[in-house]
Amino acid sequence: MGKVYVFVNQKGGVGKTTSAVNIGAYLAEEGKSVLLVDFDSQANLSSGMGIRPLKPGVYELISGSAPIDKTLRSTALATLKVIPARIDLSGAAVELIEQQDRDFFLT
C-alpha cells in the first residue's frame, strides 16, 4: 500500500494545489509512482497539469460511471499520473448524502 498525502485546508489560496503539484512532481522525478487526484471542483490542479479533457475524472469515478483506468491521465513523467476534476464534482457532496459512511466512500 502506498502513502496517501492529502492537501486540505478550509482557508483558500494558501498553497494546497501548488504544494500537491510540486511535491507530486518531485517524488515522481525521484522515481516514486505518484497519482495526483484532484478533489477540487475548481480543477486548478488538473488545468495546471495541462490535462484535457477533464472528463471522465474523479466525479465519474466516485459516481461509478467510469472505472479508474478510464480516469487516469499520463503526464510528461512516466511515473506521474493524474485523475482530474471538473466543475460537476461540486454536486458530489449533495449526491452522496444518502450514501452510507460517505466520509469513507473511497477508502
Q: By the criterion CB under 5 A, which residues form the site for Mg ion?
A: 16-17, 44
CA distance 89 to 43: 9
Q: Is 16 in the site for ligand ATP (CB under 6 A)?
A: yes
Q: Which of 44, 63, 75, 79 binds ligand ATP (CB under 6 A)?
A: 44
CB under 6 A: which stretch of 9-17, 29-37, 86-94, 99-107 binds ligand ATP?
9-17
What is the residue whose three cell numbers read 515522481? 28
Q: Which residues, 6+ apart, have CB-to-CB distance to 89 below 8 Å?
A: 39, 40, 41, 43, 57, 58, 59
Query: What does the binding site for ligand ATP look like in residue numbers (CB under 6 A)?
Result: 12-18, 40, 42, 44
